[in-house]
Structure 1
């Protein structure tokens, strides 16, 4: 009788261990997905992982309890978002109402300028569509994706900054890029960042990208940061500017008024759209 009981207990323990192992593996795949996409919504990814919304929510709560992801306005974001760059192929999938509102507000700032610089990244790419209604101007960019879409959708004059191409982001970096940017003068530079902190400034994971971003801001009369609310308070590896070097910060209304006031006190005008 005792042997039978011990055998049953062993079987239960093995099943429990197997279940926990499957849950762990599934949660790691979900975490990898959130990091790669930059965000996750339950309704969008339950089918992708072939699990029920109930199970997915449980997994997300488990990851949240480990402080690997954080929930904000119905979506989940990686807490180490400053370490990861969204690949080009995933940027359109991660487009949100916040991003589209930021793009519209940013393009409104271009109304009376003749030259702009668009950084590489998801938010600068969102500007291309709204820029179709602007009068012809000169646009400088390190992003091959931005340059191609501007050429396809608009009649703006496009100048591509040369350099070593980073396939993940389709942006150029290194000394060829910085040397070319040093010879240019533009009215407004629209920049992106992986992290924004009052103490540590504007940061990005790759030092070569940070160097190119610094050169881009030095080439501009004024610089505008385009930033989703989840990037504030985040610190990535390589700094490229201080918050006080910005003329404007354009972000979503999800950033609290008190946080906007703190960043505004550092120098830039903060627009919550």
Structure 2
């Protein structure tokens, strides 16, 4: 066997191993170095190198002892999955976001679990019109006193229980909204806010465009992650709310773009 053939064989073996790691992470929501090493019959150092390669490709984010999958053009987490991840952090973020309501009379609430928690944290006892692409947020708000709920029309995305496509974006384009609560699959200083689905990205882009104030909410793991469709720049936001696991130094870097960055 020639050296070239040997190199190709090792490359193929490594790529297959990394494919299996990504598949396992997407199935379970995360992987540990120890478990993957035992499952694949390789050393933990090999798994760590593989995770480093996958992180550079934007497919996973490494954690202490493992990794979790990053949303991409071909992979998006479901709402059901999101409801089980970082719940205490998302709850704190939602509470802090609701406190920024101020005198807003019209509010956009994005799809996703953190925006759903924001919707639940909005106060009763005052007139408020909420525009949303989230079926779950609309359902939770519809029976509350003082709330007028406008559900954006369009194709229902079953995984996220939200509406998308040009119908939803066109409906949004006719509004002027006081405050938008916007989420994303990733936020980075280089590429801004991104999401895997271009149709969902267009809805988010329109929400940012027609809103007077804009708040981004996302847990620390969103920062530095990059997905397929870019829909906004960090400079477009008045406030960024995340949890305290985002390093203070990184929060300051985002604050240089203009938004106030809150770590809760």
Give the gaps of 5 or more residues in structure 1: 1-23, 43-52
The within-5 A match list for 1:89-238 is 89-133=80-124, 135-152=126-143, 155-238=146-229
Partner in structure 2 of residue 242 of structure 1:
233
The within-5 A match list for 1:5-24 is none
Give the gaps of 5 or more residues in structure 2: 1-16, 55-59
Asked if the contact 2:180–2:214 (Cα under 8 Å) also holds between the matched residues in 1, the reply is yes
Query: How far did 1:74 drift?
Result: 8.0
Residues 207-216 or 126-135, more deviating: 126-135
Q: RMSD over aligned Cα, in angstroms?
A: 2.9
Q: TM-score, with normalisation over the residues of structure 2?
A: 0.78
1:66 partnered with 2:57: no
Query: How far did 1:97 drift?
Result: 1.5
Partner in structure 1 of residue 259 of structure 2:
268
CA–CA separation in structure 1 for the residues paired with 2:72 and 2:150: 29
- Match of 1:199, SS state, is coil
Give the number of the structure whose alpha-carbon radius of gyration is greater: 1
CA–CA separation in structure 2 for the residues paired with 1:152 and 1:59: 49
CA–CA separation in structure 2 for the residues paired with 1:90 and 1:76: 16
CA-to-partner distance for each residue in 1:154-190, whole Å, 9 max, x for gaps? 6521111111222221222222112111111111100
Q: CA 1:64–1:108 in structure 2 vs 1: closer, same or farther (change >3 Å)?
A: farther
CA-to-partner distance for each residue in 1:236-262, whole Å, 9 max, x for gaps? 111101111111110111111111111
